[in-house]
Amino acid sequence: MLSFIIPTLNEEDTIQTLLENLAPQLSKDDEIIIVDSFSKDRTVDIAQDLGAKVLMQPKNGIGLAKTAGARSAKNDIFVFLDADCILSPDFADTVKRHFSDPKVKAVGGYGVYSSDSAIWRGIYNIYAYSVFQGARAYHLVTGKFWMAANNVAYKRDLFFSVGGYRSVICEDTDMMRRLAPSRDVRYEPKMKLSLSDRRFKEKGFFRTIGLWGWSNIAATFGKGLSTDGYRD
């Protein structure tokens, strides 16, 4: 069974859509855990009204919020999502199908971006496709695996073997650096979701990609960049 873990901060405009999208996919023993950093809007009320478990966590970085959610989870498979995503109709079933193989330790999905602009949507999604296929190829060659922290499922024992996510920008790259190579992970394009383009709108696409690029370098070769002042 699955524990969906979703960090939030002032997400009243997105969280209801996600939870209503996710609800029909849930089995009896699945759960949704919202890790909220003391939102000042109706995020918590909406989440509770729609049956999610809510955990309050000070804003110390999205990585630590996800790890706190995992520590409170009742199930042994953690699925990490962002609050502004929309899942494909068979998302949960796809995750469960992979974990029906007891050897599988993690599954990484494929994310695309929505946008009002067809041109920018195309640019965003060329980038997204390149990242997914690049990570897949890198794993094929080296056994090291990078999986986007907003569309990934981990078994409990693998996730906590390195203490979970930490509070750095690009916590997924920091996780990859600390985890040993493994062939018991899967890349699944059918585990698909759509994200809003708000990150790119806030600071611009190229500036955002530049920050992520530098953060990935820092996470790969050092302790990573602080999340202070960074909107996850």
Cβ proximity of 145 and 108 under 8 Å: yes
**pLDDT greater than 80 at residue 209:** yes
**Closest to 82 in 3D by CA, of 146, 151, 17:** 151
Residue 10's pLDDT is what?
96
**pLDDT greater than 90 at residue 226:** no
Residue 117's pLDDT band, with cuts at 50, 70 and 90, is very high
Strands (E), the chain: 2-8, 31-36, 53-56, 77-81, 85-87, 106-113, 151-155, 185-195
Classify strands 2-8 and 106-113 as parallel, antiparallel or unpaired: unpaired
Residue 230's pLDDT is what?
52
List the domain boundaries for the chain: 2-221
DSSP state of 182: -
Query: Which residues make Cβ contacts (< 8 Å) with residue 88, sequence separation at least 6?
Result: 94, 190, 191, 192, 193
Sign of CA dihedral 79, 15, 194, 223: negative
Residue 231's pLDDT band, with cuts at 50, 70 and 90, is low
Angle, nearest 10°, between helix axes 171-178 and 62-71?
A: 60
Q: pLDDT per residue over 88-116, tens digit each?
A: 999 999 999 999 999 999 999 999 999 99
**pLDDT greater than 60 at residue 229:** no
Query: Which residues make Cβ contacts (< 8 Å) with residue 140, sequence separation at least 6?
Result: none
Full-model pTM = 0.94
Query: d(Cα 24, Cα 32) in Å, to the nearest integer?
Result: 13
Coil vs helix vs strand at 84 = coil
Query: d(Cα 145, Cα 177) in Å, to the nearest integer?
Result: 9
Q: Do you know the residue count of the chain?
A: 232
Query: d(Cα 224, Cα 232) in Å, to the nearest integer?
Result: 15
- In CATH, the number for domain 2-221 is 3.90.550.10
> Which residue type sits at 134?
G
| Mean per-residue pLDDT over the chain, rounded | 94
Q: pLDDT per residue over 174-185, tens digit each?
A: 999 999 999 999
Q: pLDDT per residue over 62-90, tens digit each?
A: 999 999 999 999 999 999 999 999 999 99
Percent of the chain with pLDDT strictly greater than 90: 87
